[in-house]
Chains A and B, each alone.
Chain A
Amino acid sequence: MADKRFVSTTVEVEGREETRIVELPAFAPDPWDEDARLDVVGQCVPRMDATEKVTGRAVYSADVARVGMLHATIVRSTVAAGSVTEIDVSQALALPSVRGVLLRADVEGIKYDGGQLFDPNIRYAGQPLAAVCAESREVAERAAALVVTRVERAPHAATIRAALAKDAPKVRPKGNTGRNHPAIAERGDVDAAIETADVVVRREYRTPVQLHSCMEPHGAVAEWIGDHVTVWESTQGVFNSRADLARAFGLAHAQVRVIKDYMGGGFGAKNGASVAACIAVALAKKTGAPVRCVFDRAAEQFDTGNRSATVQRVTLAAKKDGTLAAIALEAEVMMGVGGWFAAPGKIYHEMYACPNVRTSETAVYTHTGAMASFRAPGHVEGAFGLECAMDALARELGMDPLALRRKNYAGRDQEKNRPYSDKRLDRCYDEGSKRFQWRARGRPGRGQAAAQDGRFRRGQGMSSLCWGAGGGPPAYATVRINADGTVDVLAGTQDLGTGARTVLAQIAAEALGAGIAHVRTVLGDTERLPYAGNSWGSMTTASVGPAVRMAAEDARTKLLDAASAIMGVPAKHLDARNSVVTSRQRGAAGRELSFAAIGEELGNVMIIGQGSRGPNPDRTAIFTFGAHFAEVEVDTETGRVRVLRLVAAHDSGRIINPRLAESQLEGGILQGIGYALFEERVVDESLGLPLNPTLHDYKVPTLADLPAIESFFVPGADTTANHTGAKGLAEPPNIGVAPAIANAVCDAIGVEVTEIPLTPWRVLAALEKASRSAR
């Protein structure tokens, strides 16, 4: 019986494992193991679209202008809960050059994370209620301001506490907590282990709602021609966006073309068709003209998703020697009105060797904007609780925090009891602590705080992290050799600023034997390119990279066959490197033919290679790891925390382009610094309105906040994961920063601050509380 052509495989996406049926690729290239001699992969090739970006020529969605284009503005709710009783658009329509309005009746069945578009049942402040379009944005904004919306207010619950209160107003008809929540996952017997442990620590941690704050707001331009529509959208997934729009408008996939060329950041907030795209498509259809719809900054901040706030009650139990006996978590997770459950509990199951682990998590719905994936969703929140509690345990045990983590090193995937494809966290500990010059500390009171009594106190802290970023199928690529020997890599993925354009070209150049200068990547177009999934879950390189490699290997085989016919040398004696085919055959050794010369000979007989991403290995945990080390200085008079330096050691398998990869580490670390120190969406509890939906009041890190960052990868190649040996790396650097900083602050001042961001007032309050209890 022939082998199965389609097999089942598992893929981890944003912390969730999915099972997929995938076609086995026609062949599997030999893995590039750690010692493989590679020319282009592993080099710091300059970012291929940098020149377009530094000259202002890179075209983002809001830069797209079509002839006769109209501009849409969204009318939004100014209350957190209630119902719309009347929308009067007569004054808006009377304004010259207003061309149309879009109301609830026009958008039946168009859904997004917040529910039905323009739902008259208001569940959060800022909820879209209608849209207006006009010949200029200014007129559209004036018209939107003239729309009269009558609303019957209802009580709201804008915080976890309010939503869980007795008789709380209902956010969803079925109540304010997730279905079948608390979701409980347990291995071993946690209660018994706590009972018999030598040491037990219990803590409660709080993390804020963090806002993606992409520099490029959500936006789209839509243009109908006949019965098909083209949409230029700022999206992390053109194919996902296409599927969403096709479903919403009852169209075939072939009737929708989504294009994303340049993209001004997503970080998880742009994973499908946005409200802006739905409105642009609907208004373009209604008015018969192209429509641009771009969110303003306030909407970008309160209506495009966010990282869930959490409350985490953590119990750690251990033996005297530091061996973990039990880990327990009870958590509430703030969803807003929707989204998916990004579990903070997952990292509690994964990070350390421990036979007894229980997490009990409750999704809490509130009258605020829906959550969305945000750079390592769940793990960023969970790592703060787990890693701060590990330090509390280390203090209780009189043990060095790094030694405690090494003591509980997991040699196998704890959650699913399966081997790791590869794990080099020990190398991260070794190399990170060495570069940081980590000073081991032992007995309580031996931290930095005890040695300092001045106003400014310094401390050091660390954290561990893990994140499943193995990528997986489906993903496809085509490699095409043009008649002049240049190479096009075609893949329906997208470059969010990550460097996918460059990295995929490097993989193709390596596998094909082409010079990198002759290779370009074409991406972000559903009509012209083979499928690739969303750029989320740190998946693009490990998903699309192997497909590109296979396509390039396929093209190489055909190219060498063609060269063989031209040169009269058997293909097995030919080699390709730097866009030149060279003979190794005795007698003809050293004979060369460039790709361009082959192309000239072939004319428009085109060499095309096809590739696809194969299944992941069975029963194997594919993870990335890292260790972060932070040094801070705390001003004990003002409570201000300054991060002085941060060392981040990461294990992501093979690094295709170290310069681009390290830049992503730095970026993730900076977002982590924002999460640790500044970033917090504040909602007025009585009004249910966001108080800081601007970049002035919601603080993201600036250049002035930049510490010395030393981030790097330990060498490796995970060839069990896939044949390129590369794993993901975008999200991991965001995970370890906040706990490393909080642990350093505790080391500096001798007091735990258990809620982030570590604002001056929180630090001062903790100091005050400690000095009161000392008196």
Chain B
Amino acid sequence: MSSVRIRVNDVSRELDVADHETLLAVLRDRLGLTGSKESCGRGECGACTVHLAAAGDRTRPVYSCLTLAAACDGASVTTIEGLGAGTLHPLQEAFVAQDAVQCGFCTPGQIMAAAALLADNPVPDEPAIRAALSGNLCRCGTYPRIVLAVRDAAQRMKAARG
């Protein structure tokens, strides 16, 4: 057991976590943030993708199923529930507008991976989108619409920046 302080969606949390406990388990089972999904539990599908900024480090997308909670002391975590901060994030709007959703199980992970891409590369071309999201599986096969949605979101964000 170790005591960690993690900021999750802008709320500071102090938690005693077991050494083996994953960030995904903490988010889902302890904090009730079930938007991050477990599909493979071993970093193969991307459904559990969240944003993690370790203390003093930049924000990056991580597979929360492969991230140990004990290693997150001092980190900031953003999940799908915290992405829009009260309103829909442009990516969420674009996923709705482009219907980049079927069953929706992979969707939170897709959006978090795409948000990380757009933070790094605000106007990605299609190869960049394909590369950034190729670690997020969608068995329903909504890929064509996911590409459209990411492009749409990039435009929305560009317009908002003016």
Contact = CB atoms under 8 A, between A and B. Distances in A.
Contact of B103 (A213, A216, A706): A216
B90 to A, nearest CB: 11
Contacts of B141: 666-671, 701
Interface in B134-154: 134-147
Interface stretch (A47-55, A458-466, A598-606): A47-55
Nearest to B80: A56
A694 interface: yes
Interface in A487-515: 496-499
A210 B111 CA distance: 28
Nearest to A670: B141
A376 interface: no
Contact of A497 (B41, B104, B144, B145): B104
B134 A265 contact: no
A704 B140 contact: no
Interface in B53-97: 79-81, 84, 88, 91-92, 95-97
A696 interface: yes
Nearest to B105: A264
A297 B42 contact: yes
A53 B37 contact: no
B134 A703 contact: yes
B32 interface: yes
Interface string B109-149: 00100000000000000000111011111111111111100
B139 A694 contact: no
Contacts of A56: 33-36, 79-81, 108
Nearest to A695: B44
Nearest to A46: B96
B52 to A, nearest CB: 17
Contacts of B134: 702-704
Contacts of A701: 141, 143
Contacts, number: 171
A269 to B, nearest CB: 11
A216 B97 CA distance: 24
B41 A667 contact: no
B155 interface: no
Contacts of A46: 96-97, 99
A262 B135 CA distance: 24
A704 B131 contact: yes
Nearest to B95: A54
B102 A57 contact: no
B37 A216 contact: yes
A53 B107 CA distance: 7
Which size class do B's interface residues fall under? 35 or more
Contact of B130 (A296, A497, A660, A706): A706
B133 A703 contact: yes
A668 B34 CA distance: 28
Contacts of A499: 102
- B contact patch SS: loop
A368 interface: no
Contacts of B47: 215
B35 A55 contact: yes
B39 A51 contact: no
Interface in A222-249: none
Contact of A50 (B28, B38, B96, B137): B96
A667 B142 CA distance: 6
Interface string B12-35: 000000101100010011001111
Nearest to A709: B144
A264 B40 contact: no
Contacts of A663: 99, 102, 142, 145
A669 B28 CA distance: 33
B45 interface: yes
Given A138-B18, A663-B142, A666-B144, A54 B40 contact: no
Contacts of B145: 663, 666
A700 B40 CA distance: 13
B139 A215 contact: yes
B8 interface: no
Interface string A693-727: 01110001111101001000000000000000000
Nearest to A51: B96
Interface string A197-223: 000000000000000111111000000
Which 5 A-B pairs have CB atoms at the shortest separation, nearest pair first? A56-B35, A497-B103, A53-B104, A264-B105, A670-B141
9 contacts: A53-B104, A54-B88, A56-B34, A56-B80, A136-B29, A263-B103, A264-B103, A265-B105, A695-B40
Given A62-B38, A137-B29, A659-B99, 12 more contacts: A51-B96, A53-B104, A54-B80, A56-B33, A56-B80, A65-B34, A138-B21, A264-B105, A297-B39, A499-B102, A663-B102, A696-B42
Interface of B: 18, 20-21, 25, 28-29, 32-42, 44-45, 47, 79-81, 84, 88, 91-92, 95-97, 99, 101-108, 111, 129-131, 133-147
